[in-house]
Amino acid sequence: MSEWNNDFWVLLDHVVTQGMDTKQLFKPHQLQPESLHTVIKPASPKEMFIPPEVEQKVAEALVQRDKERAEEELGKFVEIRDAALKAAKEEIIAAQKHATQMEQAKHELIEQLIAKENELQSVRSLVDQNNQLQQRIKDLEKALEDSNKDSWGNTFNKQAAKVVNKELEKTIEPLMSEVERLNNVLFQREQQLTQLQAHSIKQQEELQQKSKSNSVIAEFGEIGENLGWNGWSGKGYRTKSGTLYTGIHALTAFICDLKASHPNYQGQEIPF
């Protein structure tokens, strides 16, 4: 502590304890601790509402709740609509592909049937010709037997036998060739019938697949019925006019009703 002109200067304790150089001295009155003045704000009075204001607040809350519900329902509708459109697109593409395949298979089958009918007609003609040849052989054999019974002499019988045998050789040779050809034709027909049977089995499998697709639509309808979608049931979709649609037609009718009841979404088309 030092004295200077009746004033006392005090060296700060913390400066000394910190081993720092003394740069500044303070007067005693300057070393008085400062009191911290905490500003306490007065508590705001509790806000009170009069009955009309309370009713207005309740009405605003109800309006907000209805707005949130409407937005939630709109979100559900958009989700249902997108799911239905996606499912309808897939079903329509599959149905169009199946219809194209069935139409092509039908034309091919018709062409095959026409060709088979022409071949069968040719076979019938060959069978008639074969029957005629067999009848001719029988007639020649009968003529030979009758000639043996006659009393014209052995010379005539031998000569007649030569003529008959020569005629039989001429007749039997092409007949055997024709029989062999007919056997080949019948073998080919059996192979073609086997192919047609395999094709028929394939078409039956496709029809069964289509039946499974209809069962998927029925399951979709049951889900819609459980979720409360208007018009949907396990049988299909019933429009507002009362018409019941099943299979892929149910999805098509459902989309039409969606567009009619929500015109704001008609612009969002999905190309099929």
> What does pLDDT average to in each consecutive run of 10 residues of the chain (272 residues)?
45 52 55 49 61 88 92 89 85 86 87 84 81 82 68 54 66 74 79 77 70 72 79 82 81 78 54 39
Q: Please give the helix or strand (H or E) that residue 80 lies within, else none.
A: helix 51-149
What's the pLDDT at 188? 82
- Are the CB atoms for 23 and 11 separated by under 8 Å? no
Q: Please give the model's pTM, rounded to 2 decimal places.
A: 0.31
> Would you put residue 229 in left (φ > 0), alpha (ψ -120 to 50) or beta?
beta
Q: Which residues contact 25 (CB under 8 A, 6 or more apart)?
A: 2, 9, 10, 11
- With beta carbons less than 8 A apart as the criterion, state whether 35 and 45 touch: no
Residues with Cβ within 8 Å of residue 140, at least 6 apart in sequence: 164, 167, 168, 171
- Residues in Cβ contact with 91 at an 8 Å cutoff, skipping those fewer than 6 apart: 213, 217, 248, 251
**259's tokens:** 């567009």
